Chain A
Amino acid sequence: MEGVSVNYYIGLSAILFIIGVLGVLVRRNALVIFMSIELMLNAANLAFVAFSSVNNSLDGQIFVFFIMTVAAAEVAVGLALIVAIFRTKKSIDVDQINLLKG
């Protein structure tokens, strides 16, 4: 049976990752930025699983499992932060959060 070259998966992973990066850089909505970060994490996960499969090892999948756990925790805290910021700034525009400047 023929397989798909792992390069395709890596390429896909890279494209998704770059889209995530663009999301972080281009969008101003904090929530969208956060979602873009999740997308980047997902792209990384995809690469992990692809490598796990090509190497016939489960370690990559275990890693993805841990990444998901951390992502869950991150989302919980991150969203709490965004809520907290929104409460003070009445906005989720990251360009309005620029107090830390020289």
Chain B
Amino acid sequence: MTTDLILFLILAAVAIATAVGMLLSRNAVYSALFLVLNFSTVAVFYLLLGAPFIAITQVTVYAGAIMVLFLFVIMLLGTDELPERTVLPWQKPMAVFLAVVLMVEGVYLILTQKTPGLINNAPTESTGSPQAIGNLLFDQYLLPFEVTSILLLVAMVGAIVLTNKEKKGGQS
């Protein structure tokens, strides 16, 4: 067992644990915090995979901006636990069952893979650096990049319109 593998396994355990924590927390705030933790762990994976720029973006955008937004909304709407209801009694067992089946299928898929590639844990300077990403982004992927800016604009306008609607037009 190599150090790489040990490191991976530890981090993976943390990631899975935080994910399960998010899943099982009764309180949405806890869920959000578990998720932040999970995102951070994934960011470490990104570093390990030689993608420092993505790792930093993960931390700032996901763990930072998005999750803060989540927390903000959770606080806004209240953190009351939802009352127990049994509208869909079969939902939970079926979901678990299907998830297990999917898991089995995934394991089967991985085990039957013939040539698993190896991940070199020593990232080279050039691969995931912001410079390399920038070069690629503003050269080959310029058009999609610009389109995302429009997408963000639209999302921003949409969010404002959705949340503002009642104040302006009254009850719809």
Contact = CB atoms under 8 A, between A and B. Distances in A.
B73 A7 contact: no
Contact of B136 (A8, A58, A84): A58
A22 to B, nearest CB: 5
Nearest to B162: A80
B71 to A, nearest CB: 10
Interface residues of B, number: 82
A22 B61 contact: no
A22 B95 contact: yes
B110 A39 contact: no
Tell me whether chain B's interface is mostly helix, strand or loop, or mixed. Answer: helix
B158 A77 contact: yes
Contact of B77 (A21, A23, A35, A92): A92
A83 B73 CA distance: 8
A63 to B, nearest CB: 9
Given A15-B16, A28-B82, A52-B49, A79 B70 contact: yes
Interface residues of A, number: 72
Given A7-B116, A68-B57, A53 B50 contact: yes
A3 B69 contact: no
A76 B151 CA distance: 11
B103 to A, nearest CB: 6
A69 B15 contact: no
B2 to A, nearest CB: 5
B102 A79 contact: no
Contacts of B62: 38, 42, 68, 71
Contact of B155 (A2, A4, A59, A77): A77
B4 A32 contact: no
A9 B74 CA distance: 32
6 contacts: A2-B4, A3-B4, A19-B20, A39-B22, A53-B127, A80-B162
Interface of A: 1-12, 14-16, 18-23, 25-29, 31-32, 34-36, 38-39, 42, 45-46, 49-50, 52-56, 58-59, 61-62, 64-66, 68-77, 79-84, 86-87, 91-93, 95
The 8 A-B residue pairs with the shortest CB-CB distance, nearest first, are A73-B155, A25-B95, A3-B118, A80-B162, A80-B159, A54-B117, A53-B49, A14-B106
